[in-house]
Chain A
């Protein structure tokens, strides 16, 4: 067998979930390790190889200058870079706070000010070109596993291009939007999570970000209005995970 591919995991500002989710592959992590060698993964290892990576996974948003440096390093030193999770692909929740960074810092740390510098949280894709974006807050482990396996075998990873609704139908879940009137962003959210939240009888909160292409947020908006949700509520909901054009 030829040599293993080198994998690096880089974590910027986030909840840790997308990095942790790699460990949650459990035994299948060991299957991946047949093809990959982990050179750097600071949540899980004290090793810092510093060399070149065949594949780099980057999770989180760029929220500090340190984050930006780590990201640029990861990009410069890797062949195939995957923006992993909605923080990295769309900015996730911290990216939705719309206020100049100075005011945000003041509101949190008080008037004496925290002299530490921070940046407005932005997704990885705003700063560097990525080879693959896997959204989800967190992403579906299966999707990452398949993507890494495909890359190892030289196959282009599959990219879902349908809304969550499709997976709901496939699973024969009752439509929570139409039947229960719950706020559900499934129709305009990119599928790939197997409609896991609708399984709980709850509406999709849009954590995989907007469905690219032919989506119709206007009609979703009208449906939610007709179910009695007010403008402010709908707008806040729309903006939580989906501010940037895919």
Chain B
């Protein structure tokens, strides 16, 4: 017998799951990504490097900037281009905006309705209007950062290899500094809310992240030894899904907020670090549902860091100069932390700067196996205990904790 979970709601993109029951027991689970493939690796083949980040931004709306930045970094590494701290800080500011926009969307509009028992945030707003408004305020601020750095809220083209189309003004940075401080109170409230929830789903045993907080030259796992993805991560196609599945040394693993906190808490801002320490006992159990709490702590991190960056830039002033980019034959990998976890853009270029090979691995593809394991664990707990409707509802919550991004996951090329 197969129990079908029809298309997930309150997640990005189109996906479903099947729970396979044999002899009265839950035997297996399949996470089926039914969103059509989007062929980005083919789309970018033969394209001039200058246009590539703008195309890659169309992979996913929720984390378009992570895609632009990972793409730009992959291209810069292929050409041996290094950008100064000013450009790095501005990119970081954009990525922080994306954390805020994405985490706030997920926590307040997609998960909170489960916590309070509503089908959506719009209907929840009648009783919990304040909370919904706070979420929207955080999300809107995140989006303003994306617009400021990326040129648009979604699908912007301002992030370029070597710099930006337009640089940000002093006034713009001043409002960022002010508002990030003012919003901090809301984020701390979110931490309290999500810290109060009971854990569910599977416990992850392996975690992977980039070596810097928002990006890196390599990846790290529990042993903190930097590695390239090709050394420890393997991908394979599935017969039932348009998204591929990845393993870390042959086993499932977790990327995303929880992984970042557990591997990189030493890089957090002061208040975020304090909150991490306060909740470390819970978080270190590895229950993937604590990803929600981890995201709330990252809201705090993001607001603190946005204020810090704005201050640094205001103190020293923005020069607004791009680094010249000379195309050459090369190979480069961009490792970025998208809100949902590690994002990899890997390119090879020819002497004219055209893409001759591209591989993109997204957080949801990396988490795919872990999502299945989590569903399996939860289904085993619930089967026979809860009626089917309740079971399906709870399983959807399990999937939601990963904050899966299905659009992102459907265009993975073979190596």
Interface residues of A (CB under 8 A from B): 11-18, 20-21, 23-24, 26-27, 29, 33, 38, 41-48, 61, 63-64, 66-67, 92-94, 96-97, 99, 104-105, 107-110, 112, 114-116, 118-119, 121, 137-138, 196-197, 199-202, 205, 207, 232-233, 236-237, 240
Which of B219-259 touch A at CB < 8 Å?
Answer: 237-242, 244
Please tell me if the beta carbons of B42 and A16 are within 8 angstroms of each other in the complex. no
Which listed residue (B10, B39, B42, B140) contacts A45, Cβ 8 A? B10
A177 to B156, CA, bound (A): 19
Which of B137-176 touch A at CB < 8 Å?
Answer: 140, 143, 151-158, 160, 164-166
Which listed residue (A45, A96, A108) contacts B414, Cβ 8 A? A108
List the B residue with the shortest CB-CB distance to A136: B155
Which listed residue (A15, A199, A232, A237) contacts B166, Cβ 8 A? A199
Which listed residue (B60, B153, B396) contacts A15, Cβ 8 A? B60
With a CB–CB cut-off of 8 A, which chain B residues contact A99?
Answer: 42
Please tell me if the beta carbons of A236 and B151 are within 8 angstroms of each other in the complex. no
Which segment of B87-95, B117-125, B376-384 sits at the interface? B117-125
Interface of B, helix, strand, loop or mixed by DSSP: loop
B28 on the A face (CB < 8 A):
no
Most chain B CB inside 10 Å of its own CB: which residue of A26, A29, A110, A200: A200
CB distance from B45 to the nearest CB of A (A): 9
Given contacts A42-B9, A43-B10, whether A63 and B38 have CB atoms under 8 Å apart is yes
With a CB–CB cut-off of 8 A, which chain B residues contact A67?
Answer: 36
Which listed residue (A12, A23, A112) contacts B237, Cβ 8 A? A112
With a CB–CB cut-off of 8 A, which chain A residues contact B154?
Answer: 17, 20-21, 24, 138
B394 on the A face (CB < 8 A):
no
Instruction: Kindly list 14 other residue pairs between chains A and B, CB separation below 8 angstroms, not including A13-B38, A96-B43, A200-B156.
Output: A13-B37, A16-B407, A17-B155, A45-B119, A45-B120, A64-B34, A93-B38, A99-B42, A104-B39, A114-B237, A118-B37, A138-B155, A201-B165, A207-B155
Given contacts A44-B109, A200-B166, A205-B54, whether A16 and B13 have CB atoms under 8 Å apart is yes
Please tell me if the beta carbons of B51 and A205 are within 8 angstroms of each other in the complex. yes
- CB-based A-B contact count at 8 angstroms: 189
With a CB–CB cut-off of 8 A, which chain B residues contact A112?
Answer: 237
Which of B177-202 touch A at CB < 8 Å?
Answer: none
B59 on the A face (CB < 8 A):
yes
With a CB–CB cut-off of 8 A, which chain B residues contact A66?
Answer: 14, 34, 36
With a CB–CB cut-off of 8 A, which chain A residues contact B244?
Answer: 109
Please tell me if the beta carbons of A202 and B165 are within 8 angstroms of each other in the complex. yes
CB distance from B99 to the nearest CB of A (A): 16
Please tell me if the beta carbons of B10 and A44 are within 8 angstroms of each other in the complex. yes
With a CB–CB cut-off of 8 A, which chain B residues contact A237?
Answer: 51
Please tell me if the beta carbons of B10 and A105 are within 8 angstroms of each other in the complex. no
A16 to B48, CA, bound (A): 26
A64 to B34, CA, bound (A): 8
Given contacts A15-B61, A20-B154, A66-B34, whether A44 and B121 have CB atoms under 8 Å apart is yes
A191 to B14, CA, bound (A): 31
A64 to B59, CA, bound (A): 17
Please tell me if the beta carbons of A197 and B157 are within 8 angstroms of each other in the complex. yes
With a CB–CB cut-off of 8 A, which chain B residues contact A196?
Answer: 151-152
With a CB–CB cut-off of 8 A, which chain B residues contact A20?
Answer: 12, 61-62, 105, 154
A152 to B123, CA, bound (A): 21
Which of B98-121 touch A at CB < 8 Å?
Answer: 105, 109-110, 113, 119-121
CB distance from A241 to the nearest CB of B (A): 10
Given contacts A14-B407, A38-B122, A116-B240, whether A110 and B38 have CB atoms under 8 Å apart is no
Please tell me if the beta carbons of B242 and A118 are within 8 angstroms of each other in the complex. yes
Ordered nearest first, which 9 A-B pairs have the shortest CB separation? Answer: A63-B36, A17-B61, A45-B120, A13-B36, A200-B165, A202-B165, A200-B166, A64-B36, A46-B119
